[in-house]
Structure 1
Amino acid sequence: MSPETIFRVQLILGYVAWLLCFGAYAMPKLKAMDAAAAQRAIATLHSFRIFGLVFILPGVVGPNLPAQFGSFAAYWDLATGLLAILALLTFRVRRLFWVFVVAFNLVGVVDLLMDYYHAIQLGVATNPGQMGSAYVIPVLYVPLLMITHIAAFYLLLRRQPNHAPALVSHPATS
C-alpha cells in the first residue's frame, strides 16, 4: 500500500473506532449530565489543542510539510485550545462560559474543516511522513475532536427538560 492509502485508511478507521467508542461510552454519559457539565467535559478535552503547535516545531515535522498547512493548523488549534481553557475558567460565570463554549466549538470546527481543505489542496496525504511524530494527530486525535464538536453542538441545541436551559430555548409543549 502507498503511504497516501495507508494514511487515508487510518484516518477513516480512526473515525469509525472513535464513533463506536464515543457512541457506546461517552455520549450516553454526556446526555445524562446537565448541559453545562457536559460542555465542561468536552472543553476539557479541547483545552489540550495547544498541542497543535507541534505542526510548526522544527524537528517534530519534516521540512517538506507545507508551511501553509502547518501554520494554519497550529495557530487555529492554539486559538481553539485557548478558548476551551477560557470556557473552563469561566464555568462559574455561566453567560461567559456559554459564549466561550460556542466560540471554541465554532473556531474548532472551522479549523478542522480548513485543515482538511488545506491538506487536500497542498497534497499533505501524498507524503504523510512529513508530519513526523505529529502524524498521530490527524489519524487518532482529529476524529475525536470532530466527533466531540458535533456532540457539543447537538447538546447545545437539544431540549433540556430537567436541567438548566441550553443555549437555545424551546417553546413549552402542552
Structure 2
Amino acid sequence: MSTQLIFQSHLILGYVAWLLCFSVYVWPRLKSMDRFEAQRVIATVHSFRFFGLAFILPGVVGSNLPASFATFAAYGDFATGVLALLALLAVRIRPLFWLFVVAFNVVGIADLLIDYYHAVRVDLPAHAEELGALYAIPIIYVPVLMITHCVAFYLLVRPQLKATRSLQKPEMSAG
C-alpha cells in the first residue's frame, strides 16, 4: 500500500472515528449546555493549538516538509490557540469572550481549510513521512478541530432555547 493511500485512509478514518465518538458522547452533552458553556468547552479544545508551532521545529518534522505547508500550519494553529486562550481568559467579560470565540473559530477554520489546500498543492499524502512525529496531528487532531469549529458556528447561529415557566395557574383541588 502506498504512503499516499495510507495517509488518505488514515485521514478519512480519523473523521469517521471522531464523528462517531462526537455524535454519541460529545454532541448530546454540548447541545444540552447553554451556548456560553458549550463555547467554553470548544475553546478549551482549541487552546492547545499552540502545539502547531512544532511544524517548524527542526528535528520534529522531516527537513523536506514543504515550508509553504509547515509555516502556515504552524502560525495558523498558534494564532488560533492564542485566540482560544484569550477567550477563556475573558470569560468574565462576556462581550470580549464572544469576540474571541468568533475570532478563534474564523481564524481556526480558515487555517484548517488553507492547510488542506497547501497539503493538496504540495502532494503531502505522497510525502507523509516528512510529518515525522507530527503525523498524528492531521490524522487524529485535525478532524476533531474541524468538527468542533463546525459545531461552534452552528451553536453561534442556533436560536438559544430558553426555559419558560408555565403561566398557567395550578389547578385547585376539591377537598
TM-score range, shorter chain: over 0.9
Q: Which residue of 2 is the match for residue 33 of structure 1? A: 33
Distance 2:160 2:111 in 1: 29
SS of 2:10 mapped into structure 1? helix
> What is the match of residue 44 of structure 2?
44
Q: Write out per-residue CA displacement over residues 45-104 of structure 1, whole angstroms, 9 at most, x where no aligned residue.
A: 000000101100000000000011000000010000000000000011000000000000
Cα distance in 2, alignment partners of residues 52 and 124 from structure 1: 17
Which residue number corresponds to residue 172 of structure 2? Answer: none
1:111-151 Cα shifts (integer Å, max 9, x gaps)? 00000000000111111000001000000000000000000
Match of 1:161 in 2: 161
TM-score computed with the length of structure 2 as normaliser:
0.92
Equivalent residue runs for 1:1-174 within 5 Å: 1-162=1-162
Counterpart Cα distance in 2 of 1:123 and 1:65: 11
Structure of higher CA gyration radius = 2
Aligned-pair identity in percent equals 63
Count of aligned positions: 163
The AA in structure 2 aligned to 1:117 is Y
For 2:147, the aligned partner's letter is: I
> Which runs of structure 1 show a deviation greater than 3 angstroms over 4 or more consecutive aligned residues?
none
Q: Secondary structure at the match of 2:160?
A: coil
**For structure 2, which runs of at least 5 residues remain unmatched after alignment?**
164-175
User: Cα offset for 1:161?
Assistant: 2.0
Q: Which amino acid aligns with 2:54?
A: V
Q: CA RMSD in A?
A: 0.7
Deviation at 1:159, TM superposition (A): 1.1
What TM-score, normalized to structure 1? 0.92
Whole-angstrom distance in 2 between the partners of 1:29 and 1:59: 40
